[in-house]
Amino acid sequence: MSTMSKAILITGASSGMGREAAILLAREGHRVYAGARRLDRMQDLAEHGITAVEMDVTSSDHNQRAVNRMMDDGGRIDVLINNAGFGLYGPVEDVPLDDARYQLEVNLFGLAQLTRLVLPHMRAQGSGRIINTSSMGGRIFTPFGAWYHATKHALEGWSDCLRLETAPFNIQVVLIEPGLIRTEFGQVLGGGLQKYYEGSAYKAQLDRFFAMMSDPKAANRGTDAEVLARVFLEAATTAKPRRRYVKGATARPLLFIRKWFGDGIYEAVLRRTFG
């Protein structure tokens, strides 16, 4: 892909990394369509030349309308950034399977359905790039994150397979694996955990987890979303992108520990950290 202006669709763009990435991409001269459920929170993006579109990625109709609009406006989609997602945390024993299924719908199946919609257009134009926001959580694990980690581990394998399938059509697939980022993720995660607290057999462990989540020092350790926006920019525009971009607080150290010291040492670190 050249460095000339590209037509880019990015989901999960109402806050955090998605919002910052959309603004930076538009500033660099690209035609950006920013999708999110909370359309009211994206109204000011028009000041940056960004087109805001209402998108719940679990809605096939929303996804189809967004793709149709881009094709009607400019006749092509050069880059799809699948960034929408959330983290469902809670003890496996306590999390209802309906909640778990919704986690999979948002973080995996919605993303997959949107990707399937853009691939025919990319094949027809002879080029394209799919960028999937995974997480360091796609290669490691943490307490109470079974369903969240399940989606990110699945996304890693799904993306690798897709890369092989689309390579003959000059369509590249890239994974971004953020570490701890200063976004709403932690607030949403903590709020979600509360609903499984009462009556749980895991209260002692949850209390320790909540204490860590509420520690101001923990919040300050996160990397600014603007730093990740620059990673999205490189992944979307460089001629030869990496297969994976790892960026953000704690990501590289934790990945290093698990890879080179094994699961036993890695779990010992988690037990010491979370109690």
Report the run of H or E that residue 10 belongs to, with start and end. strand 7-11
Residue 13 DSSP SS3: coil
Q: Match 């002692």 to its residue by tokens.
A: 204
Q: Is 148 a catalytic residue?
A: yes
> 147: which 2 tokens?
């369903």
> 138: which 2 tokens?
């796609």
| Annotated catalytic residue, options 89, 148, 245, 266 | 148
Rounded distance between C-alpha atoms, residue 23 and residue 18, angstroms? 9
Please give the single-letter amino acid code of residue 201.
A
DSSP string, 109-154: IHHHHHHHHHHHHHHHHT-EEEEEE--GGGTS--TT-HHHHHHHHH
Q: Is the dihedral of CA 16, 103, 173, 37 positive or negative?
A: negative
Residue 259 DSSP SS3: helix
Q: Which residues are catalytic?
A: 148
